[in-house]
Amino acid sequence: MNIIQDLSILELVSNASLVVKLILALLVGVSFTSWYWIFRKWFALRDARIRTDNFERDFWSGGDLNALYQSAVNDRHSTGAQERIFEAGYREFIKLRGQKALDPATVVDGARRAMRATYQREADHLESHLAFLASVGSVSPYIGLFGTVWGIMHAFRGLANVSAATLANVAPGIAEALVATAIGLFAAIPAVVAYNRYAHDVDRISVRFESFMEEFSNILQRQFK
């Protein structure tokens, strides 16, 4: 086997030590999992933006709040996050307003708390698995570096039985060790980019939810006038 064949990627991986092979398998598995969640979160956040846009268009078109509430209740399986926040707040508002002993401020505060609780659940759902992407982005290079260090140590240990060390003796071992670093970076870079992008998107959507809750609370306050 000549040097060119020894330095092909498949040959380097197949000839690597057991520890390096395990590290490469771990990194490849982590990379596939991160790509799975990258695509899942992309579709989830896109769907959240579309549903939020549609609900805001319907809400601010001047429609009846009771009709919007009934629509949210009847189509609960297909509603978006902001619509569920609206449903929780308006349900609490209707329930508390029926209690004559409560003043308007208490009723609105109760509706706001109900919306806040639903908002927290929806925000947690939007942020789910972002921590995994952050972990992949921060840890994968170090895992790959560990594989590289181990591979280089293994390569130099193999030189102990060679009378004269040449490039042909050292190059395959060093190259197979560097593959671990390359795979680590391949797993980390997309995860970091996706995490930064999705964290920004979640923040923007969360700001829209918070703004809606404040505006809707003001609308509920005016219901008593």
In the chain, where the domains are located: 3-222
Q: Is 62 left (phi over 0), alpha (psi -120 to 50) or beta?
A: left
Local confidence band at 12 (pLDDT 50, 70, 90 cut-offs): low
Tell me the pTM: 0.82
Answer yes or no: is pLDDT of 2 > 50. Answer: no
Return d(Cα 84, Cα 26) in angstroms, integer. 39
> pLDDT tens digit string along 22-33?
888 899 999 999
CA atoms within 13 A on the CB side of 128: 8
Q: Which residue has the higher pLDDT, 186 or 103?
A: 186
Q: Is 164 in a helix, a strand, or coil?
A: coil
**The tokens of 68 are what?**
């919007």
More confident residue, 153 or 182: 182
- pLDDT tens, position by position, 82-94: 999 999 999 999 9
Nearest to residue 180, comparing CAs of 26, 3, 45, 6? Answer: 26
Indicate the pLDDT class of residue 172, thresholds 50, 70 and 90: low
Question: Which has the higher per-residue pLDDT, 151 or 163?
Answer: 151
pLDDT grade, residue 5 (50/70/90)?
A: very low
Given this model, what pLDDT does residue 141 score?
Answer: 92
